[in-house]
């Protein structure tokens, strides 16, 4: 069982602050500049789940002092778009697939090949959440299909979690691998939305106090205008944000243009959905994207002027040669960008690295993106998208969500610029301890909430059962070994 330190009535440190002294590198928030500033040989303190100014503490206020030498401390990362209940199960299967006749998207021919059990979803979630925490993520927006025990799993993780259960009225499918059709069922959509709202309300009522909710009409092309408007009303009634998948494929762009004579971003604008309460998942195929050859250039301006955020998830797309063009352009033109993982591996630091490289290649410019842009998006950008000014920063009054990096780890040496070393070289290897609300959820690089070996065993069983039935869901009845042949015929 994981360690769970409990402070009883006789604990003399209860209610006192924890001081971390002499931190080699501390990425602290500069309120005047509105961004982070790296501090050297710095102190940091927290009490009652929030950061406090260490200079304000008297000796009797301090319950524990920790040596910060040999460490870099960063604010906890904010993952605003993830699918932990399913994506982890696809490891080793879908990294090299994409539909040649559907502009390389894997959504329509491959996404629904895999079914899983409730046990498989629980195992996948436990594995993904553990991986995310071990890469410095302290807040996750979990965009999943509602299932029994989901909210309890999020609560048990120790993370700060936003439950975003998806609902829709239509499903897409391909009968032949070169066209996409839609099967509409408005009554089923209403049922799904009601179930999703019940899950959101359960998250809001969770006793941990760390859970919240988000309203998530699944995709712009699988929900009607009426469903989007109902979703907006439900979100506003609860004071919550909305997120939908939009501008994620050429097929979707063309379908929305066919239906409405608008780009996906233009259609969201016409429905009155853009604004500070909206997050667009992916937002890749805007009218400037050169895969489209579109003559107008309005979409980025609509996002920036409305205050709409974009959840940028580079890895799942660069696998198929697709890239948002480019994250630096979005940021420079005033769009708030946060980072999401969307797919496996749930390694948030590698996600940032891939985002930098994708931007540079798509822009043909090494200056297109850098560590500062991605760290900002991973912390303050994500927090802004969620409407939280107490996350993604180390500052007095903010939530004590942070993680430590071992500067003596070989992956970090030699140390010149430790942030660059972390993002470009080390990844999650030197992440040691992760805290949420001042409570440790990762110790010495291992997430404490779940038995990872047991979860992986259950996940492997679920994957094996799912792979055996792929042929039932493929339009041509092909087995997994044909659709996704192992490397070198293993």
CA dist 323 and 316 (Å) reads 9
**Statement: 17-75+398-447 belongs to CATH 2.30.40.10:** yes
Going from N- to C-terminal start, the domains of the chain cover 17-75+398-447, 77-385
Residue-by-residue pLDDT tens, the chain, 490 positions: 233 333 333 445 668 999 999 999 999 999 999 999 999 999 999 999 999 999 999 999 999 999 999 999 999 999 999 999 999 999 999 999 999 999 999 999 998 899 888 999 999 999 999 999 999 999 999 999 988 899 999 999 999 999 999 999 999 999 999 999 999 999 999 999 999 999 999 999 999 999 999 999 999 999 999 999 999 999 999 999 999 999 999 999 999 999 999 999 999 999 999 999 999 999 999 999 999 999 999 999 999 999 999 999 999 999 999 999 999 999 999 999 999 999 999 999 999 999 999 999 999 999 999 999 999 999 999 999 999 999 999 999 999 999 999 999 999 999 999 999 999 999 999 999 999 999 999 999 999 999 999 999 999 999 999 999 999 999 999 999 999 999 998 7
What is the topology classification, in CATH, of domain 77-385? Answer: TIM Barrel (3.20.20)
**Cβ distance 180 to 251 under 8 Å?**
yes
What is the pLDDT at residue 23?
A: 98
CA atoms within 13 A on the CB side of 125: 29
- The pTM is what? 0.95
Nearest CA among 246, 312, 277 for reference residue 79: 312
Domains 17-75+398-447 and 77-385 share a fold: no
What is the pLDDT at residue 13?
A: 64
Residues 6+ apart with CB under 8 A from 410: none
CA 352 to chain CA centroid, nearest Å: 11
**Cβ distance 386 to 78 under 8 Å?**
yes
**Cβ distance 285 to 295 under 8 Å?**
no
What is the pLDDT at residue 147?
A: 87
CA dist 23 and 5 (Å) reads 24
Give how far Cα 462 sits from Cα of 124, 142, 310, Å. 9, 20, 32
What is the pLDDT at residue 56?
A: 96
């Amino acid at each position: 069982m994981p360690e769970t330190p409990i402070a009883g009535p006789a604990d003399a440190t209860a209610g006192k602050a924890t001081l971390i002294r002499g931190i080699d590198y501390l990425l602290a928030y500069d309120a005047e500049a509105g961004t982070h500033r790296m501090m050297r040989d710095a102190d940091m303190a927290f009490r009652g789940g929030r950061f406090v100014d260490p200079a304000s503490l008297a000796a009797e206020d301090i319950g524990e002092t920790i040596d910060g030498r040999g460490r870099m401390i960063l604010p906890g990362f904010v993952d605003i778009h993830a699918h932990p209940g399913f994506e982890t199960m696809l490891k080793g299967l879908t990294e090299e697939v994409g539909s040649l006749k559907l502009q390389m998207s894997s959504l329509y021919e491959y996404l629904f090949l895999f079914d899983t059990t409730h046990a498989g979803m629980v195992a996948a979630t436990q594995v993904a959440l553990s991986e995310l925490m071990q890469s410095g993520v302290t807040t996750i927006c979990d965009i999943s299909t509602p299932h029994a025990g989901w909210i309890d799993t999020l609560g048990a993780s120790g993370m700060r979690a936003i439950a975003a259960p998806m609902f829709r009225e239509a499903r897409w499918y391909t009968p032949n691998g070169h066209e996409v059709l839609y099967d509409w069922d408005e009554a089923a959509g209403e049922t799904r939305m009601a179930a999703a709202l019940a899950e959101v309300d359960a998250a809001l009522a969770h006793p941990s106090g760390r859970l919240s909710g988000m309203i998530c009409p699944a995709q712009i092309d699988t929900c009607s205008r009426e469903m989007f408007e109902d979703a907006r009303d439900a979100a506003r009634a609860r004071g919550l944000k909305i997120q939908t998948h939009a501008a994620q494929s050429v097929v979707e762009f063309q379908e929305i243009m066919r239906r409405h004579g608008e780009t996906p971003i233009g259609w969201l604008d016409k429905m009155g959905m853009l604004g500070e309460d909206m997050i667009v998942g992916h937002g890749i195929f805007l009218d400037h994207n050169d895969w489209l050859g579109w003559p107008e250039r309005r979409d980025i301006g609509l996002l920036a002027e409305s205050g709409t955020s974009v959840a940028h998830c580079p890895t799942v797309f660069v696998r198929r040669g697709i890239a948002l063009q480019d994250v630096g352009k979005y940021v420079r033109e005033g769009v708030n960008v946060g980072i999401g993982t969307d797919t496996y591996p749930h390694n948030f630091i590698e996600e940032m690295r891939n985002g930098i490289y994708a931007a540079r290649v798509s822009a043909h410019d090494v200056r297109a993106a850098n560590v500062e842009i991605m760290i900002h998006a991973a912390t303050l950008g994500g927090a802004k998208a969620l409407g939280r000014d107490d996350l993604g920063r180390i500052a007095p009054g903010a939530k004590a969500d942070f993680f430590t990096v071992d500067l003596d780890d070989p992956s970090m040496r030699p140390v010149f610029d430790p942030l660059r070393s972390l993002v470009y070289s080390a990844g999650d290897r030197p992440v040691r301890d992760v805290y949420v609300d001042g409570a440790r959820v990762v110790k010495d690089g291992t997430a404490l909430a779940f038995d990872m070996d047991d979860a992986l065993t259950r996940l492997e069983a679920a994957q094996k059962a799912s792979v055996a039935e792929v042929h039932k869901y493929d339009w041509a009845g092909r087995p997994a070994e044909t659709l996704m042949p192992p490397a070198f015929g293993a």
